Amino acid sequence: MNKINFLFVTLFGIGKLKKIPGSYASLATTVLLFFLFHILNFSPNFVLIVIIIIFLVSLYAVNVFVKDLDNKDPKEVVIDEFIGQSIPICLYEIAHDGVKDTGQVLTFYFVMFILFRIFDIVKPYPVSYYDKKFKNSFGVIMDDVCAGLYVVAVLVLYMVITS
């Protein structure tokens, strides 16, 4: 069971990469979601439900993983990047249902990836609040959820301004 939990919280070992595991996890998430939505034609609503389930499971799984560690937010835990990166992509897909130009989709996915990494690294409020105040799985995950929601806010603002 510990091995399964390790694979889950490290996103199948991506978190064990020596340099920038969070960025690799975000990139893998972006590529996976593009594949699910644009190659396999998965429903964005279905994927969003799966992500919500992953969020709920990760609250427990991360707690189990960090239980005996001094650092309650170790770099190898990257399931939070998966969740945070998934939020803007899923909401983009839900908002833009139907046939889309692949070039436009790739551009938006790239922008969402870059913005998420910026917000996750810079940690503007309330991202920083969850990162600093909650030294448990809730804080580990919620700072990335907030970073993902910041990406959504920026994209909504962009779409309002350009429409």
Q: What is the pLDDT of residues 67-78, one digit of tens each?
A: 877 777 789 999
pTM of the model as a whole: 0.93
Alpha carbon 38 to its chain's center = 18
Rounded (10°) CA dihedral 113, 117, 119, 120 = 130
Q: In this structure, what DSSP letter does residue 39 have?
A: I
Task: Give domain limits for the chain.
Answer: 2-162
- Regions in the chain scoring below 70 on pLDDT: none
Does an H or E element contain 117, and which? helix 102-122
Does an H or E element contain 138, and which? helix 137-162
Give pLDDT, residue 5: 94
Backbone angles phi, psi at 136, to 5 degrees: -155, -175
User: Do residues 62 and 9 make contact, with C-beta atoms less than 8 angstroms apart?
Assistant: yes
Give pLDDT, residue 141: 95
